[in-house]
Structure 1
Amino acid sequence: MENWTKITMKTPLVEMDGDEMTRIIWKMIKDILLTPYVDLNTEYYDLGLEHRDATNDQVTIDSALATKKYGVAVKCATITANAERVTEYNLKEMWKSPNGTIRAILDGTVFRTPILVKGITPFIPSWTKPITIARHAYGDVYKNVEATVPAGAKAELLITKEDGSEEKILIHEYKGAGVLQGLHNLDDSIESFAHACFQYALDLKQDLWFATKDTISKKYDHRFKDIFQEIYDRDYKEKFETAGIEYFYTLIDDAVARVVRSEGGYIWACKNYDGDVMSDMVATAFGSLAMMTSVLVSPEGFYEYEAAHGTVQRHYYKHLKGGSTSTNSIATLFAWTGALRKRGELDDNQSLVDFANKLEKASIDTIENGIMTGDLASMSNLPNAKTVGTEEFLLAVRDTLETLL
């Protein structure tokens, strides 16, 4: 754009690069839609699997600590290593999920919200408003300790208290071989989760639902339920009533039934694993995982924006062979706009906020004008829907953006 003065940034944004097709898209977004308009000020961390391996995953820890320093981060999708990836990338070890590491350090809550566009009807037609999943981001199965157990063994839970006294609880006597898993969580983290959910509900002026399985898990899940209720009654009940919104607790199976029958427009708080699964379900039912925003919010006021999906491995291999791809970049693009907007808000930089808003509008307008990637074209009921390639779509967004600027 001629005569455009690039928007300056006062404070750096923490930039976490990633893997495979999303890494390719990451660079395209910066080259096509960001650097021509914004004098990008980022502190860069390469969270690509090879570099994580080379640094023994220290780069992931450093990126999370930088987020604490600067307050706002934007993250590309990353590979979580499994046995096949260890072989494929010749890794030193099976490194843990970078998202899990970052979430544990920031002790935040992940809020995931679908992006609605005209022409794509949710698979559940009654859903007319977005459903935000609030996912606890610490502990449970993501911090588990597990073992295979031989036949004839006895498994016990041993708690050694500060005074040296011990409490033993029998888990199971194994007549045949089996497996074992130990989970934990912390009151402090559950309290942070509760505060984040209540504050976010007040910000959005939306009802908050919280669901676990306390009828079966009478101590573990019940602890979550009790902490939420105590904090709500003490700190938020009056604020919720003044705002005209509601908080309620229900069983996870009851919540699923209610969600399916609802019109949307609320925040659904879930424990770590439940939130992982339910956010994928909600995203897919609204249309696509690639149309889901995701932000990690810590109680200290740190924000990390990312796409809610993976690294799009299949498209990456096609890209490596020189094939054309039509990969949806919206969730990655909205990670950038979310981070730029928050950076602008915290720095009192209205130009940056306005740019982020216009870039989001340009993205949605482009799709609603019938130009979209293959995943959306296959779902769209627009009469003029046209499938374009990965880069073509971003160039079309740029054309729309220029008219808005």
Structure 2
Amino acid sequence: MEKIKMITPLVEMDGDEMTRVLWKMIKDELICPYVDLKTEYYDLGLENRNATDDQVTVDSANATKKYGVAVKCATITPNAARVKEYDLKEMWKSPNGTIRAILDGTVFRTPIIVKGIEPCVRSWKKPITIARHAYGDVYKNAELVIPGAGRAELVFTGEDGAQLRETIFDFKGPGVLQGMHNLDRSIESFARSCFNFALDSKQDLWFATKDTISKKYDHTFKDIFQEIFDTEYREKFEQAGITYFYTLIDDAVARVMKSEGGFIWACKNYDGDVMSDMVSSAFGSLAMMTSVLVSPDGKYEYEAAHGTVQRHYYKHLKGEETSTNSVATIFAWTGALRKRGELDGIQELCTFADRLEQAVIATIESGCMTKDLALITSLEQVTVQNSEEFIKAVRSTYERMQ
């Protein structure tokens, strides 16, 4: 069979640990045999980020702005233990946070639904899409370890030299301090991305913050969303028969547990990080969640919503067998290839991505799956496969479908 030709390369961002191992398996077994793959490769493994002073992360984000579509492997955001383990020069920032800050936009995460994997929340009948703001907050924070007694102040100095000043806290002893920021233009992009996505998918949109406590920071999010909705989208939503409403984040958590699903839940950056893990886990597995960053000017970065699967990687290094779920990473590749095909007018590439996703779902529904799914499936007589076996089973299913 002749391989599908590509015109424009994907930006390929390699990653860390077990997902890096799966990344190569997926390319070797599921992509390269069928697609004449063109990528501009960036190694975002922690060692290379450290060696380049994290410049490689910036370069990969700028390449995404150039080419329009990227696919990213899971990466490590180092903590103190990782600094020691990898002998890092410093505790590098989240690569996802860096990329999101450069691209701007919104991350949309949706569970992958398969028969036999029922949600833990019995009322959920349809997928819940988490729309996560992709700029600022704790991912672009400034932090201090406070050595002792003293006054902490929040100070803004304007270009004209005028200052705004607010006392944060009078420390009586050691502690910690954190400063966060966001931008009106980024919040506006977030709002429009969410409203447009809701209209495209014809789903209701929820938005939730904690404006009763954060009366300026979170309230600004609420006000910008409401103003844009009222002036640009209210009539469009009414015509589409969908709704938008704002509620507090704690109220949204209570509401979502009693809902049937089938809507978009917009969250600030960290809230979206946490809630997407909650939703994906409740639907079955952290490895069963698609994730795409969409910038205001139509750039796309696809990735898995989960981490690097550190525990499995250490087993892998010892030569022990692992049964790591690769579904979300496969769907990152299919999402990127489909979008590349759409933008370049290559229908064969779109069809390939659709069929490969169908093969993944069919493989699981036939009873062949990794251990995490086997532990929760309602299917009987399932076959638990290791990491490599599952990927090869997907290839067999795909080839039978041709």
TM-score normalised over the length of structure 2: 0.98
> SS in structure 1 opposite 2:297?
coil
Distance 1:149 1:20 in 2: 34
One of 46, 50, 54 as aligned partner of 1:49 = 46
Paired position in structure 2 for 1:391? 388
Is 1:264 matched with 2:264? no
Paired position in structure 2 for 1:306? 303
Is 1:69 matched with 2:93? no
Is 1:111 matched with 2:108? yes
Distance 1:191 1:104 in 2: 14
What amino acid is the match of 2:328? A
Give 1:139 deviation, angstroms.
Answer: 0.8
Is 1:164 matched with 2:165? no
> SS in structure 1 opposite 2:206?
strand
CA contact (8 A) 1:150 1:174 kept: no
Paired position in structure 1 for 2:252? 255
Paired position in structure 2 for 1:124? 121
Paired position in structure 2 for 1:80? 77
Paired position in structure 1 for 2:312? 315
One of 97, 101, 117 as aligned partner of 1:100 = 97
CA contact (8 A) 1:206 1:267 kept: yes
Distance 2:180 2:73 in 1: 28
CA contact (8 A) 2:30 2:395 kept: yes
What amino acid is the match of 1:12? P
Q: Structure 1, unaligned stretches of length 5 or more? A: none
Distance 2:188 2:296 in 1: 9
One of 217, 221, 232 as aligned partner of 2:218 = 221
Paired position in structure 2 for 1:375? 372
Is 1:330 matched with 2:330? no
Paired position in structure 2 for 1:245? 242
Give 1:151 deviation, angstroms.
Answer: 4.0
CA contact (8 A) 1:60 1:101 kept: yes
Q: Structure 2, unaligned stretches of length 5 or more? A: none
Give 1:228 deviation, angstroms.
Answer: 0.4
Give 1:294 deviation, angstroms.
Answer: 0.6
Paired position in structure 2 for 1:203? 200
CA contact (8 A) 1:372 1:386 kept: yes
Give 1:154 deviation, angstroms.
Answer: 1.0
Distance 1:307 1:393 in 2: 17
Q: Deviations over 1:165-211 (max 9, x none)?
A: 12221112123332221111100110010111111111111000000
Give 1:155 deviation, angstroms.
Answer: 1.3
Paired position in structure 1 for 2:177? 180
One of 135, 140, 156 as aligned partner of 2:137 = 140
> SS in structure 2 opposite 1:198?
helix
Distance 2:59 2:165 in 1: 39
Paired position in structure 2 for 1:294? 291
CA contact (8 A) 2:93 2:139 kept: no
> SS in structure 2 opposite 1:172?
strand
Give 1:161 deviation, angstroms.
Answer: 1.8
Paired position in structure 2 for 1:358? 355
Paired position in structure 1 for 2:270? 273
> SS in structure 2 opposite 1:326?
coil
What amino acid is the match of 1:368? E
Paired position in structure 2 for 1:40? 37
Distance 1:315 1:149 in 2: 37
My pick for the range that moved more, 342-351 or 164-173, is: 164-173
CA contact (8 A) 1:293 1:308 kept: yes
What amino acid is the match of 2:164? E
Give 1:130 deviation, angstroms.
Answer: 0.4
Give 4+ residue runs of structure 1 displaced > 4 Å after superposition. Answer: none
> SS in structure 2 opposite 1:289?
coil
CA contact (8 A) 1:108 1:299 kept: yes
> SS in structure 1 opposite 2:287?
helix
What amino acid is the match of 1:141? V
Paired position in structure 2 for 1:401? 398
After TM superposition, the structure 1 = structure 2 runs for residues 18-29 of structure 1, keeping only pairs within 5 Å, are 18-29=15-26
> SS in structure 1 opposite 2:160?
coil
Distance 1:365 1:176 in 2: 59
What amino acid is the match of 1:346? L
Distance 1:150 1:30 in 2: 50
My pick for the range that moved more, 257-266 or 139-148, is: 139-148
CA contact (8 A) 1:112 1:293 kept: yes
What amino acid is the match of 2:120? F
> SS in structure 2 opposite 1:268?
strand
Distance 1:319 1:181 in 2: 37
Question: What percent of counterpart residues are identical?
Answer: 74
One of 2, 6, 22 as aligned partner of 1:5 = 2
Residue correspondences, number = 402
> SS in structure 1 opposite 2:196?
helix
Distance 1:106 1:213 in 2: 26
Give 1:50 deviation, angstroms.
Answer: 1.0
CA RMSD of aligned residues (A): 0.9
Q: Deviations over 1:51-73 (max 9, x none)?
A: 11111111111100000000000
TM-score normalised over the length of structure 1: 0.98
> SS in structure 2 opposite 1:120?
coil
